[in-house]
């Protein structure tokens, strides 16, 4: 396969590419570029043929002079536009998973369930170009849709989707002792923990995602026999609206964070300096009303070394 097609978006858009059409911060969609097609939205009609040859990130115009941006389908954006066939992991949790599972290029990662493939897409990028993700779901249709998505996003050479009841049967024996990390997003993860332990290399790491603390407690009880360094995290995103503000004198609302912009060059006269100081803008950040709440708990643990 053409390596530039898989991972690097440092090239121009071609016929057949997947692009993320960014309309507004709350409106994006994935579109396959097709020379003879058009995209029609509230901003007008966009000819795909105008997009071909433009770099990813370009602003393109409609017949009514409306515009959208054509973004590269990174795992971060894909997670925001994919079709939800299940609950999915979002990028805040995904980032911690990849960091704490110590996933680097070349790793072999086992995952179950695949769900909508949100996490899988980021795992694939993290193991590229030489590693591989083997992901399992017992739901045939979900597995098939995930495969189609991985084709679309260009990661199918890095991911294999298997149909299997991981809670009932465990991971396939062929992976025994070979996995660098195992990730579980299953309703009863404790049933799959003994198998995950068998699959991991010495020192390998397991992560289990569960929405309820009771699931976490039960998983932790099962982890204690073969795993060590058990840690559970909950990620809560606190986004802030940031804007520039002109202050009257130095009075500021209580509870508002302020980062002062670089000082303006002062006027030569004393009076000028005072006026300049009073009207200088500050950057203010307020917690946004759109903050996301609880998604789940991430429990990490390392396989005990047998000397």
As annotated, the binding site includes 116-119, 137, 165, 185
Q: Write out the two tokens for 186.
A: 């299953």
**What span, in angstroms and rounded, lies between the C-alpha atoms of 19 and 21?**
6
Phi, psi of 121 (to 5 degrees): -65, -40
Give the nearer residue to ligand SAM in terms of CB position, either 56 or 78.
78
Of these, 88, 97, 101, 109, which contacts ligand SAM (CB under 6 A)?
A: 88
| Window 94-133: residues binding ligand SAM (CB under 6 A) | 112-113, 115-119
Question: Is 20 in contact with 176 (CB distance < 8 Å)?
Answer: no
**What span, in angstroms and rounded, lies between the C-alpha atoms of 182 and 204?**
8
Write down the least CB distance from residue 83 to ligand SAM, Å. 11
Look-up of token digits 């971060």? 76
Give the nearer residue to ligand SAM in terms of CB position, either 54 or 218.
218
Q: Beta-carbon neighbour count of residue 97 at 10 Å?
A: 25
Q: Does 170 interact with ligand SAM (rule: CB under 6 A)?
A: no
Question: Is 305 in contact with 208 (CB distance < 8 Å)?
Answer: no
- The 3 state secondary structure assigned to 46-62 is EEHHHCCCCECCEEEEC
Selected range binding ligand SAM among 26-34, 56-64, 86-94, 278-286, rule: CB under 6 A: 86-94
Give the nearer residue to ligand SAM in terms of CB position, either 62 or 145.
145
Selected range binding ligand SAM among 8-16, 65-73, 83-91, 236-244, rule: CB under 6 A: 83-91
Selected range binding ligand SAM among 25-33, 82-90, 170-178, 248-256, rule: CB under 6 A: 82-90
Q: Does 86 interact with ligand SAM (rule: CB under 6 A)?
A: yes
Exposed, middle or buried: residue 73 (CB in 10 Å: 0-12, 13-18, 19+)? Answer: buried
Write down the least CB distance from residue 220 to ligand SAM, Å. 20
**What span, in angstroms and rounded, lies between the C-alpha atoms of 187 and 94?**
18
Q: Does 136 interact with ligand SAM (rule: CB under 6 A)?
A: yes
Q: Does 93 interact with ligand SAM (rule: CB under 6 A)?
A: no
* Contacting positions for ligand SAM (CB under 6 A): 86-89, 112-113, 115-119, 136-139, 142, 165-168, 185-187
């Amino acid at each position: 396969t053409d390596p530039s097609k898989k991972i690097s978006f440092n090239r121009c858009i071609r016929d057949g590419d997947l692009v993320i059409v960014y309309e507004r911060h709350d409106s994006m969609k994935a579109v396959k570029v097709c020379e003879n097609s058009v995209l029609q939205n509230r901003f007008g009609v966009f000819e795909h043929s105008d997009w071909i040859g433009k770099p990813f990130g370009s602003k393109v115009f409609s017949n009514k002079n409306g515009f959208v941006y054509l973004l590269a389908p990174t795992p971060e954006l894909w997670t925001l536009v994919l079709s939800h066939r299940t609950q999915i992991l979002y990028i805040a949790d995904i980032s911690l998973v990849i960091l704490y599972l110590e996933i680097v290029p070349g790793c072999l990662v086992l995952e179950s369930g695949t769900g909508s493939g949100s996490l899988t897409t980021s795992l694939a990028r993290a193991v590229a170009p030489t590693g591989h993700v083997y992901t399992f779901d017992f739901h045939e249709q979900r597995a098939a849709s995930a495969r189609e998505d991985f084709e679309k996003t260009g990661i199918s050479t890095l991911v294999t989707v298997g149909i299997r009841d991981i809670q009932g049967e465990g991971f396939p024996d062929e992976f025994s002792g070979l996995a660098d990390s195992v990730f579980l997003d299953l309703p009863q993860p404790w049933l799959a923990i003994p198998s995950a332990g068998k699959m991991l290399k010495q020192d390998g790491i397991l992560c289990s995602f569960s929405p309820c603390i009771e699931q976490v407690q039960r998983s932790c009880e099962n982890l204690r026999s073969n795993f060590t360094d058990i840690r559970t995290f909950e990620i809560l995103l606190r986004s802030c609206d940031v804007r520039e503000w002109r202050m009257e004198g130095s009075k500021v609302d209580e509870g508002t964070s302020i980062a002062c912009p670089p000082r303006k060059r002062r006027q030569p006269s004393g009076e000028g300096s005072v006026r300049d100081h009073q009207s200088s803008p500050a950057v203010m950040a307020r917690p946004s009303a759109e903050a996301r709440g609880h998604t789940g708990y991430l429990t990490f643990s390392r396989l005990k070394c047998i000397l």
